[in-house]
Structure 1
Amino acid sequence: MINVVDIFCGCGGLSLGFQKAGFNVVRAFDNWDKAVDIYNRNFDHEAELVDAYNLTAEHIKSFSPDVIIGGPPCQDYSSAGKQDETQGRANLTLRYAELVCEVQPEWFVMENVDRILKSQTLPKAIDIFKSLGYGLSQVVLDASLCGVPQKRKRFFLIGHLGGNDDFLTESLYSDLSSKSTTIRDYLGDEFHTEYYYRHPRSYARRGIFSIDEPSPTVRGVNRPIPPGYPIHAGDATNDLSKVRPLTTLERARIQTFPASFEFSGSKTDLEQMIGNAVPVDLAKYVAKHLMEYISTPLNVPMQLQFNLA
């Protein structure tokens, strides 16, 4: 078994994707109690409520992780946030890098918004990883080309201790679908509507979408259609009687959480944690390719070869 620890686990999208790809997730950590509660409702292993700055390498090492995964908070980089790295959350990317390098797992996977590529923080994190000898693969993946019914671009940094740079890049890019996954492709008529409303950041943008296209990025807000909504030229229909907003749980389905995944809590908290989550099947896509790489005999350390035998 290949053991995985998830730092900044949220409600578990990244963990579940890795679990579905055959990894053995043994522990998770986050500092948001509501997300940790949801995580612990849905997994057999435990998520601990802990601040990343209070989390020690010694504690992580006690779970013998072969892989550390995690999505440090992205609000300081995100187009939905303030895009201000001085807010403090960007430093959690560096904390993630420090913990990985203190623990020294064979592999790690870090997820974030694609805007991190324009940040001042990412090069610092890369320097930390490179100083310890990690070979790095950097990719930006469109979730809709990875089996997720959502146009959501996310950055992944995958490291292999002692490996070569770009060891996984070609594999991740070469297996992308040639066609975006639509909501109907993934869920059929599960929503019992052809059209739905997703509140735009401004009315210069469309707000009405069809299930015969991938969803726009699921964000942490979900609002009803406002009175007097101005029809946009790009809207999928101009008949508002055929349109409704999606429910919280329907948005979780677009994030490819299974219908059996148990969510409970306030609507505000659930919308935020679902919007923050890594789509499960996007995580599975990355995990599947990493598993294939790890399972190639030349890439497997002798100790893991013995364990896998």
Structure 2
Amino acid sequence: MSFVGTVPAATNGPSTPLRVLYIMGHSRSGSTILNNLLGSHQQVVATGELVNLVERGWNKHLPCSCGEPGDLCPFWKEVRRHWGELAGGEDLPRYVRLQRRFERTRNIPLVLLSLYRRDPLFNEYVRSTTLLFTAIARVAGRDVVVDSSKNPVRALALSRAPQLDVTIVHLIRDARGVAWSFNRSSQPFAKTALSWIAITLISTLVIKFGHKSLSLRYEDLARFPRTALGRIQPLVGLSYDDVGAFVEAGGKIASVHCIAGNRIRMMGPMHLQLEENWRSALPPGDKRLVWLIAGWLLRRFGYRRS
């Protein structure tokens, strides 16, 4: 049985769309930190890379940040049970196939086409994912769900879900910092720079579709969290003043039930600090290479060569 049927009302009432904060951008850009920051609000539940929940968390036992495998974590077990009840059954392999069809970057032409025609498979994907967000909100008892999946194609698809009120935060980090982070796992700098360009351009395209969105630099978030969070709060209708003031004063960001994401998600509460080791650790030749490839786009977001 597939996840189809009538989408139940969100937690706020029968005609109120469920609010979703979606973190979009390239990997190694600080999305885990922003996810946990946003999840510090008492009305918000942060989920990590929700895109990986079904295939990697439930099917392949990827651990939740609480340390339990995703299929055994009490929170995610309850979400799965509630999701199945809302949908009248579950067919996880079918849902994973829908994700692969409508969330892969190479399939963006298909997604764009599906937005403007009556594609029953796309409608099923949207309904299924809306049910998942609804189950998470109800199990957590919160009004807003944070999804830090980063994938811009997923952001585009979710933004067209009629019963989700999606705010997109395009999180950007200096490509040289991203390249340094990936190089520690032996990914070539040039490959990372080209990937950063592709994801950033697609993310910019998604924002131009006119959704509630903003671009936010990781470096600004780490230096001035209160100001950065203040830019988000009017879009989602929540005040983050207390959260921003707390972390600026040295308070630790609490851990949440995250599926997938940076390894720091497993390290418990953390301090917010700017990670710019690449400035001293990245060899000058590699810095020049990344800037040569991506500098034209980095300048658009206020980054400088030196």
Task: Report the TM-score, using the length of structure 2 for normalisation.
Answer: 0.32
Task: Report the TM-score, using the length of structure 1 for normalisation.
Answer: 0.32
Q: Which has the higher contact order (CA 8 A, sep 6+)?
A: 2
Higher strand share: 1
Higher helix share: 2
